[in-house]
Amino acid sequence: MSILSANNLSKAYGERRIISDISVRLEKGEVVSLLGVSGIGKTTLFNILSGLEAPDSGSVFLSGEDVTGRSGLVGYMQQNDLLLPFKSIADNVVIPLLLRGEKKKSAIEKALALFPEFGLEGLENYYPAQLSGGMRQRAALLRSFFYSSEVLLMDEPFSALDAITRSGMQLWFRKIAREHGLSAFIITHDVNEALLLSDRIYILGGRPGRITHELPNSVPDGENQELTEEFLKNKIRITEFINGE
Amino acid sequence: MNKLYPLVFIAIIIAAWELVCRLGLVAEFMLPSPGKVVRALISEFPAIMGHSRTTLIEAAAGLGLSIAAALVFAVLMDRFEFLYKAGYPVAVMTQTVPTVAIAPLLVLWFGYGMAPKIILIFVACFFPMLIALLGGFGMADPGVLRLYRSMNAGYLRILRDVKLPYALDGFFSGLRISVSYSVVGAVISEWLGGEGGLGVYMTRVRKAFAFDKMFAVIIVTSAISLLLMKLVDVIQIAAMPWKKYEKK
């Protein structure tokens, strides 16, 4: 059974249909990219998957249970880190735990235990403004992880970073995702990112947005994989799929 | 260096003022020289300080009440849209009423004690505080609000964790204006009578044509307002330690 699945989702704002008849699934421990150009309805799809918006038709299932229109069940990491500028990094990452009613002391202890792995050791008392964009994204990911270590929805999580930091973050995320068996949907319009991080890739196209292709992908190991012949072939193929729409 | 410019400018004005007095261009009883004003300030300092105490108590009471009321109304207006629609125009109207005009009415209704003065200060300070807080709530990052909602956070949690901290900048901007309004409002209300206060003292020295003392009390009133505004700055820096790391 898929950990998260959506069947035949459609959504319109007024007369404008944004997505049409979209079905996607996410297996446990799988990282799946949703690739498509801007304005194709990727964020609308995420809002529906996270329960922030209800679809006009179709259903969302979390571990087999119908959760359509119910928010608060999956972790949602957005494009910007959305860290609260007036809270320390430790206080930021424990927000989901506190919202669940956990005591602050034990929440902070849990967070500090994961700080080294997330590259945040020694930064617990820093304010977000004192950290680089990459470090802030790490903190945002840890916060999402605390919200749901089962399913993460990541909306262009590294797009606000410079190219060098983004590349480092992608490698790091790949490692973290494997070690923790994360199940994540990642929205991206970066073909490289999709190929570097995903076990599967959905390509969204058309107006209204729909799934045009579903492609398996093997996540390459090591650095500089984007320079291999196989990677470049896959990149050309996917780019052709996107441009063909 | 930037602080030097206003100091030099003030020094030039005082020098020009002194020159005008020494040359006898204006009658001394109408415009006492800066030297005479300083001498009056020194000789009357204990009396002025006593009156300042009364003024400050009234200002603090009126300002404190206006902050509390603005906070309650801002939260309610933020939470319930119909209250915003109904309350905002009324709040704007309170600003169009000249405080000098309603002061005699307040004295008529509430007597010569502290009550009418505190009410007048409240009226003067409430609106800037309310607008500052409402504006501050509006500064909350929409993405953060969406994130909190996606985590099923309730309004009170969002208010405490997100909206109130985001409103701190606006709150302190409003407070900076309101502290000076509170002192000026207290002095204006005291003109109409009472046992003590800088406004009462002003009225007495005006009737005695002691304009050097009048200028002395004006300087003290300004100094109190400036000191309170500076105090707000100091409190803001202490209350918002993360600000010093944010890029300008």
Reading chain A (245 residues) residue by residue, the pLDDT tens digits are 789 999 999 999 888 889 999 999 999 989 999 998 877 888 899 989 988 889 999 999 999 899 998 887 888 888 788 999 999 999 999 999 998 889 999 999 999 998 988 888 899 999 999 998 888 988 998 998 888 777 889 988 888 777 777 888 888 888 888 888 889 999 988 888 888 888 899 998 888 888 888 888 877 666 666 667 777 888 888 888 887 75
Same domain, A63 and A184: yes
Q: Is B53 near chain A, with CB under 8 Å?
A: no
Average pLDDT, chain B: 90
Residue A191 and residue A129 share a domain: no
Concatenated DSSP letters for B83-121? Answer: HHHHHHHHHHHHHHS-HHHHHHHHHHHH-SSHHHHHHHH
Instruction: Answer whether B151 sits within 8 Å of A95, measured CB to CB.
Output: yes
Phi, psi of B221 (to 5 degrees): -60, -45
Q: What is the CATH number of the domain that holds A5?
A: 3.40.50.300
Tell me which chain B residue has its CA closest to the CA of residue A48. Answer: B150
Residues of A in contact with B240 (CB under 8 A): 86
Q: Is B196 helix (H, G, I), strand (E, B) or coil?
A: coil
| Contact of A204 with A232, CB cutoff 8 Å | no
Q: Which of B159, B161, B141, B157 is nearest to B75 (CA)?
A: B159
**Strand boundaries in B7-62, DSSP class E:** none
Are A155 and A244 found together in one domain?
Answer: yes
Q: Do B246 and A85 touch (CB under 8 A)?
A: yes
Is residue A39 in a domain?
Answer: yes
**Among A50, A83, A93, A99, the residue to mutate for chain B (most B Cβ within 10 A):** A99
Burial track B94-110 (b if 16+ CB lie within 10 A, e otherwise): eeeeebeebbeebbeee
Is residue A208 reached through a cis peptide bond, with omega within 30 degrees of 0 on the bond before it? yes
Q: Are residues A194 and A239 in the same domain?
A: yes
DSSP SS3 for A1:
coil
Element (H, E) at A188: strand A183-188
Phi-psi region of B194 (alpha: psi -120 to 50; beta: other; left: phi over 0): left
Closest Cα in chain A, distance from residue B232 (Å): 19
For testing the chain B interface, which of A95, A102, A144, A145 should be mutated: the one with the most B CBs within 10 Å? A95
**Within a domain: A188:** yes
Query: Does any CB of chain A come closer than 8 Å to the CB of residue B139?
Result: no
**What CA–CA distance (Å, rounded) separates A99 from B149?**
11
Q: Is any Cβ of chain A less than 8 angstroms from the Cβ of B2?
A: no
Q: Which residues neighbour A206 within 8 Å (Cβ) at sequence distance 6 or greater?
A: A20, A40, A212, A245
Same domain, A155 and A228: yes
Chain B stretch 150-169, residues whose beta carbon is closer than 8 A to a beta carbon of chain A = 150-153, 157, 161-162, 165-166, 168
E strands of B94-217, at which residues? none
Residue that is written with structure tokens 């194709």 in the block: A40
Position A245 scores a pLDDT of: 58
* Chain A residues 89-118 with CB within 8 Å of chain B: 95-96, 99
* Chain B residues lying within 8 Å of A104, measured CB to CB: none
Chain-chain contact of B151 with A147 (C-beta, under 8 angstroms): yes
B248 touches chain A (CB under 8 A): no
Q: Which of A147, A179, A196 is the last residue of a domain?
A: A147
pLDDT of residue B31: 86
Instruction: Give residue A37's pLDDT.
Output: 80
Contact of A189 with A112, CB cutoff 8 Å: no
Q: What is the pLDDT of residues B125-170, one digit of tens each?
A: 998 999 999 999 999 999 899 888 888 888 999 999 999 999 999 9
Q: What's the confidence (pLDDT) of residue B66? A: 95
Structural domain tally of chain A? 2
User: What is the residue type of A163?
Assistant: A
Whether A76 and B147 lie within 8 Å, measured CB to CB: yes
Are A29 and A68 members of one domain?
A: yes
Asked if the Cβ–Cβ distance from A99 to B153 is below 8 Å, we say yes
pLDDT score for B211: 87
The reply to whether A154 and A230 lie within a common domain is yes
CATH number of B34-245: 1.10.3720.10
**Residue A130 has what pLDDT?**
93
Question: Which residues fall within 8 angstroms of residue A226, CB to CB, at 6 or more apart?
Answer: A192, A195, A196, A232, A235
Query: In terms of C-beta density within 10 A (0-12 exposed, 13-18 middle, 19 or more buried), how is residue A66 classed?
Result: exposed
**Residue A175 shares a structural domain with residue A202:** yes
Please check whether residue A45 lies inside any domain of the structure: yes
| Partners of residue B157 in chain A, C-beta under 8 Å | 99
Rounded Cα distance between A205 and A220, Å, is 26
Q: What do you get for the CA distance between the two ends of chain A, in Å?
A: 31
In angstroms, the CA B246 to CA A139 distance is: 18
First to last CA, chain B: 20
Q: Do A153 and A225 have their domain in common?
A: yes
Q: Is B96 on the interface with A (CB under 8 A)?
A: no
Note whether residue A53 is domain-resident: yes
Q: Which residue of A has its CA nearest to B162?
A: A84
Domain assignment of residue A79, yes or no: no
**How is A71-118 classified by DSSP, letter by letter?**
-SSSEEE-SS----TTS-HHHHHTHHHHHTT--HHHHHHHHHHHTTTT
What burial letters (b/e) apply to B15-43, b meaning 16+ CB within 10 Å?
Answer: eebeeebeeeeeeeeebbbbebbeebbee
Taking contacts as CB-CB distances below 8 angstroms, the residues of chain B near A80 are: 143
Residue of A nearest to B146 (CA): A52
- Considering CB atoms only, which of B151, B246, B247 is closest to A99? B151
Map out the domains of chain B as residue ranges.
Answer: 1-31, 34-245
List all residues 6 or more positions away from B154 whose beta carbon is below 8 Å from its beta carbon.
none
Nearest to A86 by CA among B134, B160, B131, B151: B160
Cβ-contact A143, A96 below 8 angstroms: yes
Alpha carbons within 13 A on the beta-carbon side of B72: 6
CB atoms within 10 A of CB B188: 18
Q: What stretches in chain B show pLDDT beneath 70?
A: 1, 247-248
CA–CA separation, A25 and A37 (whole Å): 20
Same domain? A67 vs A156: yes
Cα distances from A117 to residues A148, B108, B247, in angstroms, run: 17, 71, 29
Alpha helices in chain A (DSSP H): 42-49, 89-93, 95-99, 104-114, 133-147, 163-180, 191-197, 229-244
Residue-range definition of the domain harbouring residue A230: 1-74+149-161+170-245
